[in-house]
Structure 1
Amino acid sequence: MANLLVRGIDEALVKALKERAVTHGRSAEAEHREILAAALRRPRKRTFAAVLAAMPDVGEDSDFERVEGVAKAPDVFG
C-alpha cells in the first residue's frame, strides 16, 4: 500500500476529522482513508429502466397533457 502525506492542513479541519473519527469509532487515519475512498469512488451505474422505476408517482397522465391554443407560456423568471 502507498502512503500519503498531506501538509498544511488547517487545525480546525484536523480537529473536525478527529471528532468525526470518534463518532464512527475509528482512528483519524482510518477516517481519513474512508473519506478519501468515498469521495473518489465511482458512482454506481443504473440502467435507464431503474432510473424510470425510481421516479416518484406525481399524478395522473391527464395532469401532464399538452394544452393547445395557449398563446404564450407565462414568464416565470421575470
Structure 2
Amino acid sequence: MASITIRNLDDDLKAQLRVAAASHGRSMEEEARVIIRQALLKTGASGGLGSRIHARFAAIGGADLEVPVRQNKARAASFDE
C-alpha cells in the first residue's frame, strides 16, 4: 500500500477531521481514507455530461423537449476572413 503526507493542513480542518473520525469510531488516518475514497467514487461513477444532466433533472420528473427536424445539411466551418 502507498502512503502520502499532507503538509500545510489548516488547524481548523485537522480539528474537524479529528472530530469526524471520533464520531465514526475511526482513526484520523482511516477517516481521511474514507473521505478520499467517497470523493473519488462520486466523480468516477457519474458518467458523462449527458448522464449527469439526466440524473439531475430525473428527480423532478425530467424534461421532454421536442427535437426540431434539421432542414439543411450540416456543413464544415469556414475560417476565411
TM-score (norm 2): 0.54
- Structure 1: where are the runs of 5+ without partners? 58-78
- Structure 2: where are the runs of 5+ without partners? 62-81
Q: Deviations over 1:12-59 (max 9, x none)?
A: 1000000000111100000000001011112266xx8xx79x6456xx
The 5-angstrom pairing of residues 17-36 of structure 1 reads 17-36=17-36
Matched residue count: 57
- The alignment yields a C-alpha RMSD, in angstroms, of 3.0
Q: Secondary structure at the match of 1:26?
A: coil
**2:78 aligned residue:** none
4+ residue stretches of structure 1 with deviation over 3 A? 54-57
Identity %: 35
Q: For 1:43, which of 17, 42, 45 is the aligned residue?
A: 45
Following the alignment from structure 1 to structure 2, what is the Cα–Cα distance between the partners of residues 37 and 10? 21
